[in-house]
Amino acid sequence: MNLIKKYGIDKMDYSDIFRIIELYDLNFIPIWPEKKNPLVKKWSQYQKEKVPFEEFKHKYFYPGANNGIAIIGGSISHELFIIDVDNNDFAMELVDLLPETLSIKTSKGLHFYYFEEYAIPLDRYEFRINESDEQELFGIDVKAEGGYVIAPPSIHPSGIHYSFYHFANIERIKYDTILQIILNLANKHNYFIKKVINADKKIKKVKEKTYTKKERFVNSNIQELE
């Protein structure tokens, strides 16, 4: 089924997001209006089990509802992962470099949806102009196992609608391929990059390899989940 079409949104119309959800059997949860918080208690159970589709759809997303909706990543959604880029200029450059896929316009940038063969953990990369900068210029989050992203037609706390930037099929690709494209673009801009992982996770350093000046900074900060 080809989903590609030009798309714009100015109302709470859930029909297109449910086309995506049903086509790919994705898990989803309701979100409080103009917030990012789950409307249901103990949403984490839906990381492992399917939501009651018809019940949720009719209870939270009926005609006239204004609730937000979020898509859950990871194995429950067939190894879905989402690249969340919160810088519009960097995101627009990635549009021309990343494999074409479903992409969502956010308040600051874009979400790129992909499938992997295996579930991947949550990641965050912070981009800085100088290595010594305390505050990052922007970040890229990888929402996968244990995470979710807000989807159209939800409204951001700022009042901006999440909308479909490119309403297309979700492509299957290796996460490492996507990551390398992102790092190459960052290196082109001479950004320093730090990979951030939750402090309560057990971690190990990646194997040493040869990097450019900027990539050496990435390597010195990159850690992986065991």
* Angle subtended at Cα 97 by Cα 76 and Cα 179, rounded to the nearest 5 degrees: 50
Report the predicted TM-score, pTM, of the whole model to 2 decimal places: 0.83
Residue in the structure block whose two tokens are 């990871």? 74
**Strand ranges for the chain from DSSP E:** 27-31, 68-72, 80-85, 103-105, 110-115, 123-128, 138-143, 148-151, 163-166, 171-172, 192-196, 203-205, 223-225
3-state secondary structure of 134: coil
Is residue 121 within 8 Å of 131, Cβ to Cβ?
no
Q: Show the domains of the chain with their CATH numbers.
A: 15-225 (3.30.2250.10)
Nearest to 46 by CA among 172, 145, 116: 145
3-state secondary structure of 211: coil
User: Which residues of the chain, if any, have pLDDT below 70?
Assistant: 1-11, 197-226
Q: What is the pLDDT of residue 217?
A: 39
Render pLDDT for 189-209 as a digit per residue (tens, 0 to 9).
999 999 986 533 433 333 233
How many other CB atoms are found less than 10 A from the CB of residue 78? 16
Q: What is the pLDDT of residue 1?
A: 42
Render pLDDT for 11-30 as a digit per residue (tens, 0 to 9).
689 999 999 999 999 999 99
Q: What is the pLDDT of residue 222?
A: 35
Nearest to 217 by CA among 198, 195, 201, 196: 195
